[in-house]
Amino acid sequence: MKKVRDEVFSLDGELAEYRKKNNYFAVLGEGSHDANIMFIGEAPGRNEAKTGRPFCGAAGRILDDLLLSINVPREDVYITNIVKDRPPENRDPLPSEIELYAPFLDRQIDIIKPKILATLGRFSMEYIMRKFELVFELESISAAHGKMYDAFASYGAIKIIPLYHPAAAIYNQSLKETLKKDFQELKTP
């Protein structure tokens, strides 16, 4: 993982410049390198960029509560994002940014070898579904959330479970119950 970190920190481009200008950190991920579950978000927010830790703000507190609801300690999973640097004004990641950072995510998946990839939000869902040749299954996050898809990684069979991003529950409280229900799927494989 150190090599991945060093390569991300040496990137050039708009987001890397924004990181340097604001004294932010690239946010690679954290958790168990033996995790069965890998959560993949979209890009770091301000709190994450300030600390270098994924999901450490309000969305992170929701994620922690959701993990508690299925009796899975945060330290037993791995949490990362597709894009490792914070986009300005917390905007959505651009396709070119996803393309630039995705190879780092791909390497993290190959290193950790999770059994479940839980995508958090539509950008990570779309990237992972395409990567694992599930384009024919691709639908909106509102239709796909909580479903389980079978796929194959370089190291064997895996499950992909699209989930709403925990931040969505900040703005729409009713989604918290939906997320809790969807998280139950993480216990089944």
* Domain containing residue 26: 2-187
Question: Which residue carries 């390569």 as its tokens?
Answer: 7
CATH of the domain at 141: 3.40.470.10
pLDDT digits (tens, 9 = 90+) for 64-112: 999 999 999 999 999 999 999 999 988 999 999 999 999 999 999 999 9
**Sheet of 78-81, strand order:** 30-31, 78-81, 37-41, 116-120, 156-163, 149-153
Burial of 7 (0-12, 13-18, 19+ CB in 10 A): middle
Domain count, the chain: 1
Tens of pLDDT along 141-169?
999 999 999 999 999 999 999 999 999 99
